[in-house]
Structure 1
Amino acid sequence: MSLALLVAYVAVAGVLFPRQLAQAGWTSHAPRLAAGTWLAAAASVVSVALLAAAVLVAPLHTVGDVFVLLLQGCGWPPQPRAPAGPSEYAGLVIISWMVGRTAYSGYVVCRAARRERRQHRCDLQLLGEPVGTGVVVLDHPQPSAFCVPGDGGHVVLTRGALDVLSPAELTAVLAHERAHLSGRHHVIVLLPAILATAFPRMPLFTLALSEVRRLVELAADDKALRRATPITLAQAVLRLAAPASARHPATSTLGATGTATTERVLRLVAPQPRHTRLALLSRLLVAAAFAALPLAAVTLPAVTDLAYHCIEVTPSRPLAEVDLR
């Protein structure tokens, strides 16, 4: 795969693909698969962009040699290396910039998330009233419910929420928040948050952040339906609907309301279309293709060289005498 193809892939997958995926209706009906597709696409674009920069430093088959160690067993001759040129220096600069920017953004985002979760836990210890295993009540009239990861995780309810929710609705809300904790949705949101912070002008990363936040809410709803009916959960979401100023950031806490509330209610009360196995398989293959492409781009050129050099026949040795071990 040439440098031009790698750059074209980054442009198409990073700019054109996210708009198509964001408009696809099936994502709301298969939120876990859709979230996996967004994450695979984001990781794929970053990996291929790094590969494109690496091609400026060394041929792609040379990059893949580290993954195909059998080349050493085939008598791979050492290749003379030309002095470094401007393109190699440019590739090293690009790689260093991408890795450094991603690492710094990861540090900033993760530190902010940890700091905010730590502050929430301190507030819960000072102001919260434990009412059950992992459940804390805050004395506040605003109806609200959210979860705070870390230390086993806590589900937080306000007095206002307890006043407006029926027992069945309370069960549904607790199931929704516990689905966030058990699914480690706060970790899933971190990857697009880091990439969107590092490369804010790339449409794929900014859309992935908002879409993954939306999709983890839908996935938590799906899991909560094991303990509640759709109507009960929809009523609970409406009762807890809060103004934007009362919502909690998705990077540190995940609430029962605040993310695509209208869509969630309509999704719960409307009948869900049934998807065929072929449709689900095709979408799964798309996600798998995103995940496998960077590895394929590296290994295929090296495997091609491996096959060529391992079975190469010299004029002095007939085919029957070639040792294929």
Structure 2
Amino acid sequence: MSAVLHLLLAVVLCLVAIPMLARAAWPARSPRTAVLLWQAIAVTLPLSVAGSLIAYGTAPHAGSRVDLLVAIAGDLASATPTRTVDAWHLLAVLGGTAIVVALPLAALLTWIPLARVRRRHRDLLDLVTSTDPAAPGAAILDHPVPVVYCVPGRRSRVVISTGALRQLDTHQVRAVLAHERAHATGRHHLVLLQFASLRRLLGTAGAQVGALLEMCADDHASRVAPRTALATALVQLSAPAPRGALGVGEHAVRERVTRLADPTAPVPLTARLLGLLTGITLIATPVSFAAYELSAWL
């Protein structure tokens, strides 16, 4: 039962950490650390729930997990009451197994339609966009609405409209393009995928992570262009990005503009290292149990 209690403690810690992290003010000062903590919670919470159920369900059985599953399958196939484990332990094993199977399945079902939309969007962009020395490396979309966005994926595209090119100056164009390239190179769409598939479990965490990823891209853009240039560009680029794309002005624009115009000191390095250590500790709990369970299967 020690494994059950250990995993349940991890679940409780995650449930306590979620509202605390959601209400905290420091993530805007160090968004990368906050995103990593959210990812640690997103990994630890469902796996710890599944692990505690499996640990409880298999606790009465001292033999190999393969032998246990074979015996349970035989009991179920014979349509007789389960003799290997009682009903509660059987439900726990089935419930934990269902969670483990559902996690990648939910991610896959979320990713497939988005990948299809993005692929079609990239194919269409190849037909209707052009290039311009004013926006090197970007696809120029002939449209009067000022919009800049990234279509992520293996063949990512950074798109800027002619309306945006007319409305923004050189520094602003450079800043927003650097922002969108940060989304592409940082694979931010994969981070958002993790939270999209767990949105019911983690509530509004996905929206906060989206805003934090925008801040991470803002910080990257601020290293190649003035912060004021990006801030003023954000105010002018309020058009929503197409489905499956990451737009520069979609999340927490007012908060980000304030952050760019009046930057605060980042969280001290020691505090960030402590946050990363906390995330690693959280992830280590279900991972260590998974390693133990794998050895029990062999």
How does the TM-score come out when normalised to structure 1? 0.76
Partner of 2:59: 59
Q: How does 1:79-98 map to 2 (within 5 A)?
A: 83-98=84-99
Shift of 1:183: 0.6
Quick one: distance in 1 between partners of 2:153 and 2:235? 28
Contact 1:138–1:157 (Cα < 8 Å) also in 2: yes
Quick one: distance in 1 between partners of 2:231 and 2:288? 44
Quick one: distance in 2 between partners of 1:264 and 1:295? 35
Match 2:283 to one of 291, 299, 322: 291
Contact 1:39–1:208 (Cα < 8 Å) also in 2: no
Quick one: distance in 2 between partners of 1:218 and 1:63? 51
Shift of 1:229: 1.2
Match 1:218 to one of 215, 223, 236: 215
CA deviations over 1:162-197 (Å, ceiling 9, x no partner): 11000111011111011111111111111111122x
Quick one: distance in 1 between partners of 2:167 and 2:29? 29
CA deviations over 1:45-72 (Å, ceiling 9, x no partner): 1111111111133239979999xxxxxx
Shift of 1:294: 1.9
3-state SS in 1 of match to 2:155: coil
Partner of 2:102: 101
Shift of 1:232: 1.1
Quick one: distance in 2 between partners of 1:214 and 1:267? 12
| Higher mean C-alpha deviation, range 51-60 or range 217-226 | 51-60
3-state SS in 2 of match to 1:275: coil
Partner of 2:116: 115
AA at the equivalent of 1:33:
T
AA at the equivalent of 2:147:
S
AA at the equivalent of 1:137:
I
Quick one: distance in 2 between partners of 1:248 and 1:57? 46
AA at the equivalent of 2:206:
L
Contact 2:149–2:241 (Cα < 8 Å) also in 1: no
Partner of 1:316: none
Contact 1:54–1:63 (Cα < 8 Å) also in 2: no
Residue 136 (structure 1) aligned with residue 139 (structure 2): yes
| Higher mean C-alpha deviation, range 47-56 or range 4-13 | 4-13
Match 2:241 to one of 247, 262, 271: 247
Q: How does 1:40-55 map to 2 (within 5 A)?
A: 40-55=40-55
Q: How does 1:111-260 map to 2 (within 5 A)?
A: 111-131=112-132, 134-196=137-199, 200=200, 202=201, 205-242=202-239, 246-249=240-243, 252-260=244-252
Q: Cα 1:60–1:161, aligned 2, differ >3 Å: closer, same or farther?
A: farther
Quick one: distance in 1 between partners of 2:4 and 2:105? 27
Contact 2:7–2:286 (Cα < 8 Å) also in 1: no
Contact 1:56–1:87 (Cα < 8 Å) also in 2: no
Partner of 1:78: none
AA at the equivalent of 1:188:
V
CA deviations over 1:72-101 (Å, ceiling 9, x no partner): xxxxxxxxxx82221332023202331343
How does the TM-score come out when normalised to structure 2? 0.83
CA deviations over 1:103-142 (Å, ceiling 9, x no partner): 3322221111101101211221232223366411111111
Partner of 2:253: 261
CA deviations over 1:19-59 (Å, ceiling 9, x no partner): 11011111111111110100111100111111111113323
**Aligned residues, how many?**
276
AA at the equivalent of 1:102:
L
AA at the equivalent of 2:110:
V
Contact 1:124–1:136 (Cα < 8 Å) also in 2: yes
Quick one: distance in 2 between partners of 1:221 and 1:283? 21
Residue 24 (structure 1) aligned with residue 24 (structure 2): yes
Shift of 1:12: 4.7
Q: How does 1:261-280 map to 2 (within 5 A)?
A: 261-280=253-272
Unaligned runs of 5+ in 1: 67-81, 302-325
> Which protein shows a greater Rg?
1
AA at the equivalent of 2:85:
A
3-state SS in 2 of match to 1:129: coil
Partner of 2:74: none
Contact 2:60–2:85 (Cα < 8 Å) also in 1: no
Q: Cα 1:83–1:65, aligned 2, differ >3 Å: closer, same or farther?
A: closer
AA at the equivalent of 1:155:
V
Quick one: distance in 2 between partners of 1:285 and 1:2? 21
Unaligned runs of 5+ in 2: 67-82, 294-298
3-state SS in 2 of match to 1:271: coil
The CA RMSD measured in Å over matched residues stands at 2.8
